[in-house]
Structure 1
Amino acid sequence: MSTIRIVTDSTADIPKEIAEKWNIDVIPLNVVFSETESYEDGVTLSSSAFYEKLERDDVIPTTSQPTPHQFEQLYRSLQSDGAEVVFSIHLSSKLSGTYQSATIARANLEDELDIRVIDSRQASYAIGLIVSEMARLAYENKPLADLEARLEELTHDTTVYFLVDTLQFLQKNGRIGKASAILGSLLKVKPILSLSKEGEVYPFDKARGPKKAVSRIIEAIKDQYGDSPIHIGASHALNEEFAKELIERVKQECQVESDVVTSIGAVIGAHVGPGTVSISCTKASVK
């Protein structure tokens, strides 16, 4: 087993088979419905169970990050398993305190284990693309310098676009005003969201209807990556068919080297709502 290990959190929305294949350790965030009802994202609450509960209870839950103690326990277990270097890659620090918790845990172990805590400045499978590529290199026992160089490329070249089905969740979570939510619903505007270089959500564009929105996203992807080969991933919240259609459209227009369709987990789902689809892209490595 490699002495370099890769850690991420549940907001990376990595399918279990990929996490198992590349030996990725995933620490869960928490989904809180009430003072007495809290779940671990992807552990005690699956994405499908979350959306069923969301529809049944009509309550928008809150979310919280893992504690530094949880991170410290995980890092120590990896050390006991032979890890010498850990890349811990997490949800944008602008969206969660997860990065901070990992940083505190690292400080407690800095004399015992080489832990690199990385702010991905991304969300959902945009994190997953970075993590999966790093984990593949670690699994193949590539030199540490190769992982360091590839990480720099990945954090620079990765992009995500979100298409939300409803503005209700964004409004209730303070991302947009109530008036904007009502107006968008009346006009059937499809907002296209993205993350800035600093890792903050911002309105990239808007389109009248999903077809025009998809065309706008593909245009943006082609502008950024041109003819370069890319890895892509589509994440969805109860909208798998649309996610697959989006993947196929990108494959028709761009040089896609690999593609994945995955579910948006409970934590990201609590902020974007059912029906959301995202497309994440990163430049493939030069072989």
Structure 2
Amino acid sequence: MQVAIVTDSTADIPREVRERLGIDMIPLQVHFGDESYLDNIDLEPAQFYEKLKASNVLPKTSQPSPADFHEVYSRHVQAGRPVISIHLSSAMSGTYQSALLAKSMLEDEGNVTVIDSKSASYGYGMLVVEAAEMANQGASVDEITARIDKIRKETKLYYLVDTLEYLHKGGRIGKASAMFGSLLNIKPILTIDGEGVVSSIDKARGQKRAFARIAELLEADFGSAPLQLSAVVTPGDTAMADELIELLHERFAISRFFRSEIGPVIGTHAGPGTVGLFARAAASDR
């Protein structure tokens, strides 16, 4: 029986890809005051960023309930399908814990594997897509989990934000750091460490220097090897992302490129104008 692949909305996988590969997506929620929206269902990325710019308050986000996961898991278990469920880093959200609770509610019925991606956005969305492609080709649970663990370890992640405002509002940096960083045009280069925690790997003064530093980091990671590169950007505010992606295409041999949009939940904490890059050596697929 084909393995069922489940994820949540923060994987930022485009709807057409999810539908084509048969990926079940369980949404988180975004709250603008008394208004609540299902991430990437009631509120698409472009709509969210327009609403974010017009809002005087920072929206809040909330995780799915165990019951949301249990409903999906039960459907597959009753059909005799094993399930692999891959989710946003447990260091950033309780979504993974909700999934584990849902699995325990099955009382050992069926074969459900819940994975903490220790990543965010398409940094783990690409793992979900790989898992779904393998599942559609008839791969087993063990084959799929081994493959996505390998990819996760080989992938380097770098984020660049256009403004420090949202990192401050979300509690990622202090008020003084945000104020002086903005005044000095400091661009923090962020990554996600092995424990799934967002951290600053470096910083540069000005956009051009930040771009050059990201290229240097990728060269240190991969040398001159051809790359598979994925990028996530915020829609409607892509000037910085477009310029950085163009630079990387000039500097590296990129054998495979994919671009997606940062959805409402991740965008709440990163803000508009953010670009995330996920790279691994093309030779790792051989």
TM-score by length of 2: 0.93
Output the amino acid matched with 2:137.
Answer: E
SS in 2 for 1:89: strand
Match of 2:230 among 233, 236, 242: 233
- 2:241 touches 2:273 (CA, 8 Å); kept in 1? no
- 2:185 touches 2:205 (CA, 8 Å); kept in 1? yes
Aligned to 1:203: 200
- 1:232 touches 1:282 (CA, 8 Å); kept in 2? yes
CA distance in structure 2 between the partners assigned to 1:77 and 1:251 by the alignment: 43
Q: What root-mean-square deviation, in Å, do the aligned CA atoms of Structure 1 and Structure 2 show?
A: 1.8
- 2:77 touches 2:111 (CA, 8 Å); kept in 1? no
Match of 1:98 among 95, 100, 110: 95
1:156 to 1:204, Cα distance in 2 relative to 1, 3 A: same
- The CA deviation string for residues 42-91 of structure 1, in whole angstroms up to 9 with x for no partner, is 011111111111111221011111000000001122334x4522111111
Matched, 1:249 2:247: yes
CA distance in structure 2 between the partners assigned to 1:83 and 1:48 by the alignment: 38
- The CA deviation string for residues 156-210 of structure 1, in whole angstroms up to 9 with x for no partner, is 1223211111111111111101000010111011111111110111111111222
Deviation of 1:128 after TM superposition, in Å, equals: 1.1
CA distance in structure 1 between the partners assigned to 2:61 and 2:4 by the alignment: 27
- Please list every run of 5 or more consecutive structure 1 residues that lacks an aligned counterpart in the other structure: none
Match of 1:215 among 203, 212, 215: 212
1:84 to 1:215, Cα distance in 2 relative to 1, 3 A: same
- 1:129 touches 1:231 (CA, 8 Å); kept in 2? no
1:141 to 1:249, Cα distance in 2 relative to 1, 3 A: farther
Match of 2:55 among 43, 46, 57: 57
Q: Which moved more, 1:275-284 or 1:237-246?
A: 237-246
- 1:4 touches 1:83 (CA, 8 Å); kept in 2? no
Which aligned pairs between 1:77-156 and structure 2 lie closer than 5 A? 77-80=75-78, 82=79, 84-156=81-153
CA distance in structure 1 between the partners assigned to 2:42 and 2:173 by the alignment: 31
Aligned to 1:169: 166
CA distance in structure 1 between the partners assigned to 2:253 and 2:16 by the alignment: 25
CA distance in structure 1 between the partners assigned to 2:188 and 2:82 by the alignment: 41
> What percent identity do the matched residue pairs reach?
46
1:98 to 1:54, Cα distance in 2 relative to 1, 3 A: same
CA distance in structure 1 between the partners assigned to 2:131 and 2:182 by the alignment: 40
1:83 to 1:154, Cα distance in 2 relative to 1, 3 A: farther
- Please list every run of 5 or more consecutive structure 2 residues that lacks an aligned counterpart in the other structure: none
SS in 1 for 2:144: helix
Q: How many residues are treated as equivalent by the alignment?
A: 284
- The CA deviation string for residues 24-49 of structure 1, in whole angstroms up to 9 with x for no partner, is 11111111122x31111001111111
Aligned to 1:269: 267
